[in-house]
A and B are shown apart, each in its own frame.
Chain A
Amino acid sequence: MNNAVRERRAERQWTQADLADRLGVSRQTVNAIETGKYDPSLPLAFKLAGLFDCRIEDLFFPE
């Protein structure tokens, strides 16, 4: 699954560590999500969408 997490994070000038803190996960987990190595659970995807003030489908899309 592709995602726009990195772009959205960059827009807000957050580091991976900043985003990780806000999500309550490790920085490596944020990195794995951004690089497509890990697809987050639905609750975490909702949390991401909430932080970026968008819908999940604006953040994650099929390859």
Chain B
Amino acid sequence: MMDLYDRQYWREFTLWALVFAVIAVGGAWLAKPLSAEHPLRTLVVLPVALFAAAGFLIEWRQFRRFDEFQKSLYLEAMMAMGYTTMAFCMAAMMLVATRVIQAPDPAYTLVVMGLGFYIGLWRARRRYRE
């Protein structure tokens, strides 16, 4: 499935993931002894959020390298991700409003986004395979 992405992407992504893991684990380790209200806690955790956002740049650079067919497949996957996430959020909101479930952890949204994108890419990529 991932042959849509080139070597440059995987190199950059692997490097980013490694550095992100170090920053995330390091941030958690540094924040641990600090109390919840300690102002330094935000400073320690901030690089994690900033570096997570930097992952977008790697994805953006790959998108710019895609040709027009690859871009159309990618956009189909993004659409699948958008609608899957929207359906999940709406269903969750209704279930919470009717008190069937308690408000789910927002982190689940990331999982649904990833799943929606993967399914969309898998479907779209069938045309790309041969």
Residue of B nearest to A26 (CB): B67
**Chain B interfacial residues counted at CB < 8 A:** 10
* Cβ-based interface call for A41 (8 A): yes
List residues of A whose CB falls within 8 A of some B CB.
24-26, 28-29, 31-33, 35, 37-38, 40-41, 44
CA distance A31 to B125 in the complex (A): 13
The answer to whether B130 touches A28 (Cβ under 8 A) is yes
The answer to whether A28 touches B128 (Cβ under 8 A) is yes
**Chain A residues in 8 Å Cβ range of B72:** 38
Which of B56-98 touch A at CB < 8 Å?
Answer: 67-70, 72
The answer to whether A32 touches B68 (Cβ under 8 A) is no
The answer to whether B130 touches A29 (Cβ under 8 A) is no
List residues of B whose CB falls within 8 A of some A CB.
3, 67-70, 72, 127-130
State the Cβ distance, B53 to closest chain A Cβ, in Å: 29
Minimum-distance CB pairs A-B, first 9: A25-B67, A29-B69, A37-B127, A28-B128, A38-B69, A31-B130, A29-B67, A41-B68, A32-B127
CA distance A39 to B69 in the complex (A): 9
CA distance A33 to B86 in the complex (A): 33
Residue of B nearest to A16 (CB): B130
State the Cβ distance, A42 to closest chain B Cβ, in Å: 11
The answer to whether A38 touches B67 (Cβ under 8 A) is no
